[in-house]
Structure 1
């Protein structure tokens, strides 16, 4: 089925459609399929998730999720990495993690793919900040830079030995 040929008018209609690989997002009434991850992108995504989870999960500070659909503010987006503070992770009455995350992540990370446009990806980070995300990273492996978006929607480019901001209570220094 060609998911792009179906244009739902609401986010609820979009969420009823079958999942795609790679994932599709619903942004301002449009279905946009994410690009297929390539080697460097996948490796960076895995390493970041593993590193964050090794530090935050044992102490129940936060948890990093790869490719997790987040539905909030009229959009359904799938960040490369969504980090949620432990107490904000949606759970079922049994205590298990819920399948639907209808809240913004605390930390949102996108790794720029070759066929993605900065403006589109940055717009997702700004949307997240508008709805309460504390920190956003847009990683560009090709030029070895990271655009950082804070909760006030300020954007700053970091390179080389610049110290990267992380969520409060998370210590990645020396990792």
Structure 2
């Protein structure tokens, strides 16, 4: 992860900068570029978005977005997957989806990359929880576990055939093993 420290950089100034690939985040006055997603990260990301949206989109319950910038609480972050409950998805006056999401997600999912700092990713999930996010997942492909952040920053470790918690009213049953089985072709 590349970190750039710039004195007097504000969130507003950061948001005026051109987007980077991979995405950069603004955390505690610093610009931090995320590592480029690799195979495991990409596979889990697309499979999760697809699994969630197959259950939620037609019922207009929620929608999962890959790598969507969310700006709130003085930070601008780009989790690997965010899920917004349907009524909370920002819209334009015409009813279209907004380009800027200036609120916290209802569910934030991070997939740890080999070069990523575990502590920085967990810090983002805890920050989301503090700001109102209902559920956070930190998926650790190398160790094959998922750390779940609940409201009030309660944390629980899930592994093997543990059934993973999802947002209320979403009829999706996934185990930790289901997630990591997606990595096998």
TM range (shorter): over 0.9
Deviation for aligned residue 1:173: 1.9
Structure 1: how far apart are the matches of 2:4 and 2:96?
33
Structure 2 spans left out of the alignment, 5+ residues: 179-185
**Matched-pair contact (CA < 8 Å) for 2:6–2:29:** no
**Matched-pair contact (CA < 8 Å) for 1:8–1:14:** no
SS at match of 1:87: helix
Structure 2 counterpart of 1:63? 63
TM superposition outliers: structure 1 runs of 4+ over 3 Å? 3-8
Superimposed CA distance per residue, residues 49-95 of structure 1 (whole angstroms, 9 cap, x where no aligned partner):
01101110000000000000000000000000010000000000111
Tell me if 1:87 matches 2:97: no
Structure 2 counterpart of 1:132? 132
SS at match of 1:47: helix
Structure 2: how far apart are the matches of 1:133 and 1:5?
27
Structure 2: how far apart are the matches of 1:8 and 1:43?
38
Structure 2 counterpart of 1:120? 120
Structure 1 spans left out of the alignment, 5+ residues: none
Structure 2: how far apart are the matches of 1:17 and 1:4?
13
Deviation for aligned residue 1:117: 1.3
SS at match of 1:127: helix
Deviation for aligned residue 1:171: 1.2
Structure 2: how far apart are the matches of 1:73 and 1:121?
16
Deviation for aligned residue 1:8: 5.7
Superimposed CA distance per residue, residues 142-163 of structure 1 (whole angstroms, 9 cap, x where no aligned partner):
1110000011101111100111
Deviation for aligned residue 1:5: 7.7
Deviation for aligned residue 1:132: 0.4
Structure 1: how far apart are the matches of 2:53 and 2:46?
11
Structure 2 counterpart of 1:165? 165
Q: How does 1:16-165 map to 2 (within 5 A)?
A: 16-165=16-165
Deviation for aligned residue 1:123: 0.3
Structure 1: how far apart are the matches of 2:59 and 2:161?
28
**Matched-pair contact (CA < 8 Å) for 1:125–1:149:** yes
Aligned CA distance change for structure 1 residues 6 and 82 (closer, same or farther; 3 Å): same
Structure 1: how far apart are the matches of 2:19 and 2:128?
22
